[in-house]
């Protein structure tokens, strides 16, 4: 009787012959008729032992990993959110966002030039008025001499030919109650009355030099109202970056310090419920039908599933906003030595791009752009 070999387990019990090479490698026999149980043997561990499936080959060197990378992150993908505050002579650091500042007009110009030199794709400006300039209607928002419109003119003059200047088209920084719209007699945000204020605000921002208007208030019909208002005064080239899916998130906390928000309560009657997914598709479809040029998901990292769905469905470029709380979490963990800050920053931005964002708003835009260059 033949001594059993280590390949005998490939053959059916009772078979007294050497296995074919095809059988050893888990392939069907060619040119020789075999019983079914021999033509397609169970592969067990043979396939993995032969090295047929080795994905690690393409991870072996940095050059190979770069060659086959499915997602790229470039400076042009990044937009820097900026804050310009009235009454400042020097920039003022935001306590809950180390490294981020409320700018004076001079420091705004300087930071904008640095960002553009680093290669960022755009700048998104938020205005911070003096407390005494806030009122129930957010009048400063549409005042040509209000802090946001003065800041937009400064950016357009300084770097307008080299980057995309964007404006936050929302009332929350300018109202004394801190909501994103005007309030009705019942104390609730009056959607349709707010649209009139948004149109006034949008026209003022377009005249101040904004290329794109960020409709972040989450009022029903806001994109359509602003588009019609802009077109009526001949501002047909001013684009709309629609906050199509903006959730009522706990991660906005540091931002409210950044804009010196007067909000008491919450914004859950107009921002989306974090539990809802289908709703974002409905909001997206409405914004597209109303004329949005770009759509955005906010926040980003906790809503990558929403971002993926929006990216799959949208017919225009898609943006995502890595918000203040996301910035603060990574910064705080890195300060405690719990994570590698630089690696975490790039990984987080890459994950947002991988989920489908063409554009990423991030407070690390200038820093990341320099590193990527």
Active site residue 298: yes
Kindly name the residue from 33, 110, 134, 246 that is annotated as catalytic.
Answer: 246
Give CA separation, 94 vs 9, 114, 243, in Å.
69, 19, 24
- Does residue 98 contact residue 118 with C-beta atoms inside 8 Å? no
Token representation of residue 180: 């994103």
Q: What is d(CA 13, CA 366) in angstroms, rounded to the nearest whole number?
A: 68
- Does residue 103 contact residue 124 with C-beta atoms inside 8 Å? no
Q: What is d(CA 322, CA 302) in angstroms, rounded to the nearest whole number?
A: 10
- Does residue 79 contact residue 365 with C-beta atoms inside 8 Å? yes
Token representation of residue 38: 């021999």
Kindly name the residue from 18, 33, 110, 298 that is annotated as catalytic.
Answer: 298
Whole-number CA gyration radius for the chain: 28
Report phi then psi at 231, rounded to 5: -65, -35
Q: What is d(CA 4, CA 15) in angstroms, rounded to the nearest whole number?
A: 11
Active site residue 246: yes
Catalytic residues, by residue number, are 246, 298
């Amino acid at each position: 009787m033949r001594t059993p070999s280590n390949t005998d387990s490939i053959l059916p019990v009772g078979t007294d012959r050497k296995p074919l090479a095809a059988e050893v490698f888990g392939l069907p026999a060619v040119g020789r008729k075999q019983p079914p149980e021999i033509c397609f043997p169970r592969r067990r561990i043979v396939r993995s032992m032969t090295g047929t499936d080795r994905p690690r080959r393409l991870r072996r060197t940095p050059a190979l990993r770069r060659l086959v990378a499915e997602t790229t992150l470039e400076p042009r993908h990044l937009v820097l959110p900026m804050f310009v505050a009235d009454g400042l002579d020097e920039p003022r650091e935001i306590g809950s966002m180390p490294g981020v500042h409320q700018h004076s007009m001079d420091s705004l110009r300087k930071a904008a030039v640095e960002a553009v030199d680093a290669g960022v794709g755009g700048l998104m400006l938020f205005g911070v008025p003096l407390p005494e300039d806030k009122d129930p209607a957010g009048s400063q928002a549409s005042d040509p001499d209000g802090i946001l419109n003065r800041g937009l003119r400064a950016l357009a003059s300084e770097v307008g030919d080299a980057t995309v200047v964007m404006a936050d088209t929302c009332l929350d920084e300018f109202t004394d109650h801190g909501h994103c719209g005007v309030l009705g007699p019942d104390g609730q945000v009056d959607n349709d009355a707010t649209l009139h204020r948004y149109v006034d605000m949008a026209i003022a921002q377009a005249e101040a030099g904004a290329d794109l208007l960020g409709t972040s208030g989450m009022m029903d019909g806001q994109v359509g109202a602003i588009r019609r208002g802009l077109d009526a005064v001949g501002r047909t080239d001013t684009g709309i970056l629609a906050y199509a899916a903006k959730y009522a998130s706990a991660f906005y906390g540091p931002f409210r310090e950044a804009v010196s928000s007067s909000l008491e309560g919450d914004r859950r009657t107009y921002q989306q419920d974090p539990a809802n997914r289908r709703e974002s598709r409905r909001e997206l479809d409405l914004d597209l039908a109303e004329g949005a040029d770009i759509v955005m998901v906010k926040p980003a990292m906790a809503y990558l599933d929403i971002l993926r769905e929006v990216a799959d469905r949208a017919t225009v470029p898609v943006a995502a906003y890595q918000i203040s709380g996301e910035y603060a979490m990574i910064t705080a963990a890195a300060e405690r030595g719990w994570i590698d800050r630089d690696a975490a920053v790039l990984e987080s931005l890459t994950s947002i791009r991988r989920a489908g964002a063409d554009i990423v708003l991030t407070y690390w835009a200038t820093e990341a752009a320099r590193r990527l260059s």
